[in-house]
């Protein structure tokens, strides 16, 4: 019958086990981060907030709705935020 023998693993076994455990834990964390980013998308924040661009567009739309700016200023600001200044508007874009 074989029993426990301290000499079977060698003197550096604790170091090898520690390093491998840390590598496996790091791999699990990296996969979890990758999966969350893949599911939620790269541009969206994790805490349910708004991205800068959509927040700016919302403020612009609110100012237009309150009558602070006219339609021309709204459309110009929206195009600046979307990076479509001087391009032909697409059929699916809503004001």
Kindly give the interhelix angle for 71-82 and 52-66, rounded to the nearest 10 degrees: 180
Closest CA to 79 of 63, 62, 56: 56
Q: Are 40 and 46 in contact (CB under 8 A)?
A: yes
Distance between CA 18 and CA 24 in Å, rounded? 10
Tens of pLDDT, residues 24-53? 999 999 999 999 888 876 655 555 554 555
Q: Cα–Cα distances in Å, from 58 out to 71, 83, 95? A: 15, 16, 11
Calculate mean pLDDT across residues 55-71: 91
Tens of pLDDT, residues 15-25? 888 999 999 99
């Amino acid at each position: 019958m074989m029993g426990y023998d301290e000499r079977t693993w060698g003197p550096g076994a604790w170091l090898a086990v520690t390093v491998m455990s840390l590598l496996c834990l790091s791999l699990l964390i990296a996969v979890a981060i990758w999966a969350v980013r893949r599911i939620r998308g790269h541009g969206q924040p994790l805490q349910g907030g708004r991205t800068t661009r959509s927040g700016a567009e919302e403020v612009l739309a609110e100012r237009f709705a309150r009558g602070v700016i006219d339609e021309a200023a709204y459309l110009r600001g929206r195009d600046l935020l979307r990076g479509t200044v001087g391009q032909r508007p697409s059929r699916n874009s809503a004001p």
